[in-house]
Amino acid sequence: MRYTYNLEIYKFALSLVEVFQLLPLIIISFISRFFSKKLDVGIGPDPLINNVFHKKSLDLNGFLSETFCYKNYYVTNNFDIIFYSNKRLVLLSILLLRWPFLYCIFKYRSMIVYFNGGPLSTQSYFLWRFEPFLYYLANIKTIVLAYGSDVQDLHKTSNYLFKHAVSSDYPNHRYKRNKIVSKVDLWTNRGSHVIAGCDWIEFMNHWDSLLLSHFCIEQKQCNDSFKKRDSNGTFKILHAPNHRTIKGTSYIEDAVTSLKLEGLDIELQIIERVSNQEVIDLIKNSDLIVDQLIGGWYAMFAIEAMSLGKPVICYLRNDFLEFYRTVGLLELNECPIINATPLNIKDVIRTQYNQRDLLVKFGLAGRAYVEKHHSLDYIGSHFTSVLKSLGIEPRIKVN
């Protein structure tokens, strides 16, 4: 009970602070539109590794860009600006007119944000509702992306197993639903351009452009990864769950345990909360990658593995495959991912174990697929087209 009262007092105090901040923020945002902004694109504030690659894709196309985030994250800390090195700075930011927001409106001509919102979304009671309007006053264009939980209103999904998994891994997600719905509606209606893709399409109301997903990767780091392993050696499988139930980890463990009892020489390595570089190194020394068996589409881990020439098992929903084929983003049988569900994962792994000579074929197809759909060039060209449509031209001429 005391916790509930303390939370209500905190919300009341925060709302009072925000009431007094709103008018100054409106005035300052309008003033900032007349200032020359040094950078073309700011990317943040969620500390996602794809932001780092988005910056690289923009750099290739002549845009001056910068990544920013609230705080470090174990996957990577390779961000240009990290606003909050400790919790005290969060409070200081609130009291000092949200200085990360002020930094952004005087620095960037446009911003790439997620449905969580930008800097005003942190520790905000109601100011986040005004954030798109303040960017409009500041003459800043906003490109809005999804990444997962920022759009996942479970009322909208027909995937009951996914709903079950989220309820298991994140039981508090139900309390965030109203805010998630409100933010999706806000940024869908007020963002300058919304890009959809992945399985997020199930949760989104509208999009201005569509990709298989906005994730991209720098493939040149993967040139030494084509190593054909001993066909008679231990079969090494790698799985990296950030959410065990959502990724279907228990089904993978049970399948491998059962296959071992059959006499198959299999080793399953499960890695959690490690840096991206460690993940890359482990992928290179694996025979087969298992991404997820629940959600219905692939994400960054599968893309990294395919880029390294490794075969990938992942659950791909047929309705998503049919949709992306119908709209022209995917050709028939183009995606080289080996499709599997919790019900057949054991049989799928056994097949790959017994047909190791085909894994090289899957690996080569995976690299070609990533080059076509998730390279820096491809995603960068899409961002470039969007930015130009919003009146943001690159400052550097690229040959």
CATH number for 237: 3.40.50.2000
State the pLDDT confidence band at 80, using cuts at 50, 70 and 90: confident
Q: Are residues 174 and 231 in the same domain?
A: no
Identify the H or E element spanning 140. none
State the pLDDT confidence band at 221, using cuts at 50, 70 and 90: low
DSSP state of 319: H
Is the distance from CB of 143 to CB of 386 less than 8 angstroms?
A: yes
Largest CA-CA distance found in the chain, in angstroms, rounded: 71
The mean pLDDT value for 154-158 works out to 93
Which one, of 369, 392, 391, 377, lies nearest residue 58 by Cα? 377
Q: Are residues 53 and 174 in the same domain?
A: yes
CATH classification of the domain holding 53: 3.40.50
Q: Are residues 172 and 253 in the same domain?
A: no
And the tokens for 94? 């609130």
pLDDT recorded at residue 164: 93
pLDDT recorded at residue 207: 98
Lowest-confidence range among 53-62, 65-74, 159-168, 384-393?
65-74
Q: Are residues 147 and 184 in the same domain?
A: yes
Helix (H, G, I), strand (E, B) or coil at 50: helix
Lowest-confidence range among 41-50, 81-90, 136-145, 381-390?
81-90
Is the distance from CB of 194 to CB of 184 less than 8 angstroms?
A: no
Instruction: Indicate if the pLDDT at residue 223 is higher than 60.
Output: no
Residues in the chain, total = 399
And the tokens for 316? 């791909």
Q: Are residues 273 and 259 in the same domain?
A: yes
pLDDT recorded at residue 398: 78
The mean pLDDT value for 133-161 works out to 96
Lowest-confidence range among 78-87, 119-128, 252-261?
78-87
pLDDT tens-digit series, residues 86-133: 555 555 655 566 888 999 999 999 999 999 999 998 778 889 999 999
And the tokens for 274? 């490690």
And the tokens for 300? 């960054």
Q: Are residues 95 and 31 in the same domain?
A: yes
Q: Are residues 264 and 175 in the same domain?
A: no
The whole-angstrom separation of Cα 46 and Cα 35 is 26
Phi, psi of 375 (to 5 degrees): -80, 160
Helix (H, G, I), strand (E, B) or coil at 277: helix
pLDDT recorded at residue 296: 96
Instruction: Indicate if the pLDDT at residue 358 is higher than 50.
Output: yes
Residue 394 domain-assigned (yes or no): no
Phi, psi of 22 (to 5 degrees): -60, -50
And the tokens for 78? 């390779």
The mean pLDDT value for 306-334 works out to 96
Residue 399 domain-assigned (yes or no): no
The mean pLDDT value for 273-283 works out to 86
Phi, psi of 184 (to 5 degrees): -60, -45
Instruction: Indicate if the pLDDT at residue 180 is higher than 90.
Output: yes
Residue 94 domain-assigned (yes or no): yes
State the pLDDT confidence band at 39, using cuts at 50, 70 and 90: very high
pLDDT recorded at residue 3: 47
pLDDT tens-digit series, residues 297-306: 999 999 999 9
pLDDT recorded at residue 343: 97
Is the distance from CB of 45 to CB of 69 less than 8 angstroms?
A: yes
Identify the H or E element spanning 132. helix 131-137
- Number of CB atoms found within 10 A of residue 24's CB: 10
Helices (H), ranges, 196-335: 244-247, 249-261, 276-284, 300-307, 318-326
The mean pLDDT value for 59-73 works out to 90
Q: What angle do CA 13, 15, 17 make, to 5 degrees?
A: 70
Is the distance from CB of 343 to CB of 315 less than 8 angstroms?
A: no
Residue 396 domain-assigned (yes or no): no
Which one, of 334, 331, 298, lies nearest residue 315 by Cα? 298
Residue 398 domain-assigned (yes or no): no
Q: What angle, rounded to 10 degrees, do the helices at 376-389 and 359-373 form?
A: 20
pLDDT recorded at residue 75: 63
**Alpha-carbon distances, residue 334 vs 71, 215, 341, 372 (angstroms):** 38, 18, 19, 11
**Amino acid letter, 47:** P
pLDDT recorded at residue 277: 84
What total number of domains does the chain contain?
A: 2
pLDDT recorded at residue 93: 58
pLDDT tens-digit series, residues 197-206: 999 999 999 9
The mean pLDDT value for 66-75 works out to 80
State the pLDDT confidence band at 19, using cuts at 50, 70 and 90: confident
Q: Are residues 226 and 291 in the same domain?
A: yes
Q: Are residues 232 and 198 in the same domain?
A: no
pLDDT recorded at residue 331: 96
171 or 41, greater pLDDT: 41
CA dihedral 293, 294, 299, 304 (to 10 degrees): -20
Residue 179 domain-assigned (yes or no): yes
And the tokens for 195? 């890009």
Q: Are residues 294 and 227 in the same domain?
A: yes
Is the distance from CB of 301 to CB of 277 less than 8 angstroms?
A: no
Phi, psi of 189 (to 5 degrees): -85, -30
On the 0-12 / 13-18 / 19+ scale of CB atoms within 10 A, 149 is middle
Tell me the pTM.
0.91
Q: Are residues 211 and 231 in the same domain?
A: no
- Give the pairing type, strands 65-69 and 141-145: unpaired
What average pLDDT does the chain have? Answer: 90
Phi, psi of 273 (to 5 degrees): 55, 50
Q: Are residues 108 and 251 in the same domain?
A: no
Instruction: Indicate if the pLDDT at residue 220 is higher than 70.
Output: no
Which one, of 170, 116, 103, 108, lies nearest residue 141 by Cα? 108
Residue-range definition of the domain harbouring residue 204: 2-216+377-389
pLDDT recorded at residue 276: 80
